[in-house]
Structure 1
C-alpha cells in the first residue's frame, strides 16, 4: 500500500508539473497533503509535519543560499566573471581555448548558480567564438559542463546544500569528494567531448545583441578571483588550521566560527560589497539593488526546496519510511546506485535537476537508516543523477538551443549528451571513490 501511495504521488507530481503546468511549489504542497491523507496520518499531525518539514529544510539553508545568490550576482554585474573569462582566454590561447572556457566555468561556477552563470558568461562565449571563428557550441559546451557540474555537485549551490542537509552530510567532505568527482566529469564532458562538436553548425541571432563590459571598467584579475572564491578559501583555511591549534579552545572556537559556511558567506558579502562594488565605483544603494534582484531570482528555488522537505517529513512522520526502506532493500541494489537511478528517472520525467534531486532524497533517505552508506557520497550520487539527460521538459535545453542557434537534433547531440556524460561519469566517480573510502 505504501509503495502504491509513493508511486501514485510521484506520478501525480510529474503530471501536475509537466502536463498541467502547475507551479512546482504548489504541486509539492498538494502532493504532500495528498500523501499524508492517503497514508492515514491524523489531521492534527499533518500541519505539524508541514511546519517541521519546511522549517527544518530551510532553517540551515536560507542564509547560505541567499548570500550565495547575492555574491554570484555581484560577481557578474561587476564584471569579475568577465575578467576571469577573458584572462583565461588570453592565457590559454586559441589551441587550448576549450580548456580556457572549462577552467573559467569551474572557477566562476563555484559561486554562481548555473542560470546566473550562463547568462553572465554567454557574452564571453560569443566574443571568443567570433574572435577565433569557431562554432559557438564548440566553445560553449566546456564552460556549460563546468557550470552544470559545479551547480549539481558542490555546495553552496541550492541542490547540494539541500541534499547535504537531508542526509546529514559534512559540508567539507562533500566539497572535497565533489572536487575529486567533478574534475574528470568536467574534463571528459567538456573539452574532450567538445572535439566532436567542432563542425556542428549554429545560427544564433541572439549573439549579435550581447555586449561586453569595457575592459577598463573591469576589476583586476586578483580582485575577481579572490572575491569569487573567498568563501571556499575561508572554509578551507578553517579546516586546515583547526587540527594544529592544540590546546587553545578559545582560538579554536573563533576559527571554527569564522569558518562556518554561513559566517564565511557573510564575511565574503561584506568584503565583496567593497571590493567589487564600492571600490569599482558603484554606490552602496546600487549594490543593495543588485542583492535585492538576486534574492528575487532565487525566491522560487527556496520555496521549492522547503516544500520538498515537507514531502520527506510526511513520509517520516507517517511511518511509511520504514516500509519503503524494507521494499527498497529487496531490490538488492547498492544504495549509491539506487539513489542515482531514482534521481535520473525523476530528472527525465520532471526536467528540473533541483526538484529531481530533492524528491529522490526523500525517497532514498529511509533506506539510509537501515543500510550503512556514506552520506557525503550519497549527496554526490543523487546530485549526479539529477543532471541526467536534460531534454525538452528542461528550460536549460531550450535556452541552449536558442542562444547557440542549434537544431533540435544538434541540441540533443550536444547539450543533452553532455549532461548525460556528466551524470554517468559522476556516478562512476562516486562508486570508485566509495571503494577507496571503505
Structure 2
C-alpha cells in the first residue's frame, strides 16, 4: 500500500478522532477496545506497513504505562491510606476552614499550583484527587467545581513554570535565564490558572451534572457516620506525608546544584527524586503515619492496598491505549505533516512557537513531547532572529503544549475516569479548560512582550 502524504494525512487523523468520539460517546463502546480498533484502522488507511502497526501501538502503550501504571498504582495506595486514616478528611476540613465552603475551588487551585511545581501532571493529580473528593463531599460542591480548578493549577505549572522538567528543557533549548523565566511564568501563570480554574469551573458546573455514584471516589471518601467519633491524624503529619514525594522530586531536580555531578550522593538524590521512587517512599511512610500510627495492623494495610487497585485497572488500560493511538499518529507521519504546516507559515516568532507546540500537542497528546519538540524546532530560528526574549519563547511554547487535550492524551482519560464523566462532558470541561489555559497564557505572554 502506498503511504499518503500532506493534507490527506490530516484528514484521516481528523476522521479517526471523530470516529473515536462517536463510537465511545454515542455507541457506548469500551474506550480501550475502541482506541485499539481506530488506531489499527488509521494505520491501515494511511499506508503504514502492516508488520509495524501492532508494534507501533504496543510501543506507545508500553512507553506510557511504564510510568503511568506505577504512578497510578502507588498514588492510589497513598490516597487509600490517606482516606482510611482520615488524613484526606483532615486536609479537607482544614482547607474548608481556611478558605470557606464557598471558596474551596480557589483552595484546590492554590494547593495544586504548589504541589505541581516539581511533579508531572499525573503524579500531582493522583496525590490531590483524594483530597478533592473529600472537599467536594463535605461542602456539597460539584466535582466539576472542585476538580477542574485543581487540574488547571497542575496544568499551568506543567506547561509554564520551571523547575518542571519540560519547562527546564525549553529553557535550555532557548538559552533563557531560568530566574527571569520563573518570574515571567508566575506573572502569566497565576492569572491564567484563575481564569481557567475557579472562574471557568463556576460557569461550566451549571451545565455539567455528574452522576451521584462514583465508584472511584467511594474508596477515597470518608464515611461520616464511621468517622464521627474518631480522632483524625494531625494536619502537619498528613501534609508532610502527602508532600514527601513533591519534596523528594524537587531535591532530585536540583541534585547537580546541591552535590557534585555524578558523585554517589548526586546519584542517590537523583534516584530518590525520581517520581516512581519518591511515590514508593511516600507510600512506605504512609504505612506508618496513616497505618500503624492510626492503629491499623499489617493485615488491614495489606487489605487496603490490595482492594484499591481493582478500580484503577480500566483507567490504566485506557490511558495506555490513548498513548498507543498517539504513537500511531506519530509513526504514520501525521505529526510531521502538522509540523511542516506550522513551520511553513510566516508568522511572528512567539506565535510560531505557540502554533508548532499546539499542533504537535494535538497530534501526539503529550504536552511534554510538544514542548520539547517545538523548542528544538524553534530554537535555531530564534537564534538567527532578534527582538524576542528567549524567556517569553519558553512561555509561548509551554502555552501551546497544553492546548486541546483530547482522546490521545492520557490526562483526558484520567479526568474522565476519576471524575466519572462521559466523553462529551470531558470535552466540555477538561478540553475547554486546557484550551483556555493555552490561549490566555499566549495573550498574556504577548502582552508581557510589549512591556519587557
CA offset digits 1:283-341 (Å, max 9, x no partner): 33333333334322322222122222222332333445433432344566635356658
Structure 1 counterpart SS, 2:308: helix
Q: Given the alignment of the two structures, is residue 54 of structure 1 paired with residue 73 of structure 2, yes or no?
A: no
CA offset digits 1:81-111 (Å, max 9, x no partner): 2211222333456897775565567678945
Contact 1:305 1:358 in 2 (8 A): no
Structure 1 counterpart SS, 2:365: helix
Q: Given the alignment of the two structures, is residue 385 of structure 1 paired with residue 392 of structure 2, yes or no?
A: no
Report the counterpart of residue 264 of structure 2 in structure 1: 250
Alignment of 1:310-321 (within 5 A): 310-321=324-335
Q: Paired residue for 2:83, among 70, 76, 85?
A: 76
Report the counterpart of residue 281 of structure 2 in structure 1: 267
Contact 1:153 1:384 in 2 (8 A): no
Farther-moved stretch of structure 1 (280-289 vs 416-425): 416-425
CA distance in 2, matches of 1:67, 1:377: 33
Q: Given the alignment of the two structures, is residue 334 of structure 1 paired with residue 352 of structure 2, yes or no?
A: yes
CA distance in 2, matches of 1:55, 1:177: 37
Q: Given the alignment of the two structures, is residue 428 of structure 1 paired with residue 440 of structure 2, yes or no?
A: yes
Change in Cα spacing, 1:76 to 1:324, as seen in structure 2 (3 Å) is same
Q: Paired residue for 1:146, among 141, 145, 149?
A: 149
CA distance in 2, matches of 1:97, 1:13: 35
Contact 2:105 2:149 in 1 (8 A): no
CA offset digits 1:132-191 (Å, max 9, x no partner): xxxx57xx8764343232465567xxxxxxxx89xx989xx9xx8999466434444566
Alignment of 1:140-179 (within 5 A): 143-150=146-153, 152=155
Report the counterpart of residue 19 of structure 1 in structure 2: 26
Change in Cα spacing, 1:50 to 1:241, as seen in structure 2 (3 Å) is closer
Q: Paired residue for 1:232, among 246, 252, 270?
A: 246
Cα drift, residue 256 of structure 1:
1.2
Alignment of 1:215-230 (within 5 A): 216-230=230-244
Cα drift, residue 4 of structure 1:
2.6
Contact 1:52 1:313 in 2 (8 A): yes
Farther-moved stretch of structure 1 (108-117 vs 279-288): 108-117
CA distance in 2, matches of 1:381, 1:286: 46
Q: Given the alignment of the two structures, is residue 8 of structure 1 paired with residue 20 of structure 2, yes or no?
A: no
Gaps of 5+ in 1: 127-135, 156-163, 347-355, 388-393, 401-410
Report the counterpart of residue 28 of structure 1 in structure 2: 35
CA offset digits 1:4-59 (Å, max 9, x no partner): 32222122222211221111111110111111211222222222223222222222
Cα drift, residue 64 of structure 1:
2.1
CA distance in 1, matches of 2:24, 2:266: 48
TM-score, length basis structure 1? 0.67
Farther-moved stretch of structure 1 (79-88 vs 371-380): 371-380
Change in Cα spacing, 1:243 to 1:6, as seen in structure 2 (3 Å) is same
CA distance in 1, matches of 2:239, 2:284: 16
Cα drift, residue 120 of structure 1:
2.7
Cα drift, residue 360 of structure 1:
8.9
Report the counterpart of residue 90 of structure 1 in structure 2: 97
Farther-moved stretch of structure 1 (72-81 vs 226-235): 72-81
Change in Cα spacing, 1:86 to 1:215, as seen in structure 2 (3 Å) is farther
CA distance in 2, matches of 1:108, 1:320: 35
Q: Paired residue for 1:282, among 280, 293, 296?
A: 296
Change in Cα spacing, 1:30 to 1:291, as seen in structure 2 (3 Å) is same
CA distance in 2, matches of 1:73, 1:114: 12
Q: Paired residue for 2:318, among 287, 304, 311?
A: 304
Cα drift, residue 123 of structure 1:
2.7
Cα drift, residue 222 of structure 1:
0.7
Change in Cα spacing, 1:310 to 1:191, as seen in structure 2 (3 Å) is closer
Cα drift, residue 425 of structure 1:
4.0
Change in Cα spacing, 1:246 to 1:26, as seen in structure 2 (3 Å) is same
Contact 1:99 1:191 in 2 (8 A): yes
CA distance in 2, matches of 1:377, 1:303: 33
Task: Kindly tell me the number of residue pairs found equivalent between the two proteins.
Answer: 385
Structure 2 counterpart SS, 1:385: coil
Alignment of 1:393-408 (within 5 A): none
